Copies of this chain bind each other. A is one copy, B any other.
Amino acid sequence: MGRRKSYNRNELIAKAMTVFREHGFAGASADMLVEKLGVNRYSLYAEFGSKQGLFDAALERYEEEFVGRRFGPLERPDAGLNEIRALLAFYGERGPEAAGGLGCLLCNTAVEFGPLDPSGAGFVQAYFERLFSAFKTALSNAKAGGALRPGADIESEAGFFTSSVIGMFVMLRAKAPEAMLKGASNAAIAHLEWLRV
């Protein structure tokens, strides 16, 4: 039995999420990670194998925590239009100071890497599918309960809401003017209310 670890893996991943969210994968150097995570580089490589390995762990954690927290409510069997509305309102109310220009890590990664998937883990595609599916689930529930306007195309509406929230993530990331963000959320909510019968 040798020297005990003076770091906690989960804490490292949590800090890494913030660094990668702010700087991207390419913009976050190993030196920066060492400094901001407060751990020596030997332990970083021992624990995660590589910078890419740490990045993958951060993406996975982000999916579980952040995406799960925000989109989980839409995935519940009893989810409906109210859950969608709460989500849209949440993002619209945040304003440019919220999350300090970080945006969504998975959305940022989608843009940074484009169609490439260096680790082959498919985090970005899974993310898109999850958002799309969450909206479809909630809309389908609303339809089954007779709460959705007849003739509403669930596939289209789900794609629409997915692209709306992704657009909001980009605006949050780049600290776009607040009027744009609030407008985006308000109009999306108005459209949602129109869908409701």
Which A residues have a C-beta under 8 Å from some C-beta of B?
Answer: 22, 24, 26-27, 100-103, 107-108, 110-115, 124-125, 128-129, 132, 153, 155-171, 173-177, 179-188, 190-191, 194
Contact = CB atoms under 8 A, between A and B. Distances in A.
Contact of A183 (B115, B156, B170, B194): B156
Given A102-B114, A160-B183, A163-B180, 7 more contacts: A24-B112, A108-B111, A110-B173, A115-B173, A128-B174, A163-B164, A163-B168
A24 to B, nearest CB: 6
Nearest to A96: B115
B186 A128 contact: no
Contacts of A166: 166-167, 170-171
A32 to B, nearest CB: 13
B156 A190 contact: yes
Contacts of A188: 160, 163
- Max chain B CB contacts within 10 Å: which of A22, A164, A168? A164
19 contacts: A26-B26, A26-B27, A101-B114, A101-B115, A110-B176, A156-B184, A156-B186, A156-B190, A159-B183, A160-B183, A160-B187, A160-B188, A162-B183, A163-B164, A164-B164, A165-B167, A166-B167, A191-B191, A194-B194
Given A114-B103, A184-B159, A184-B162, A128 B191 contact: no
A179 B136 CA distance: 12
Contacts of A103: 111, 114
Nearest to A179: B155
A107 B170 contact: yes
Contacts of A108: 111
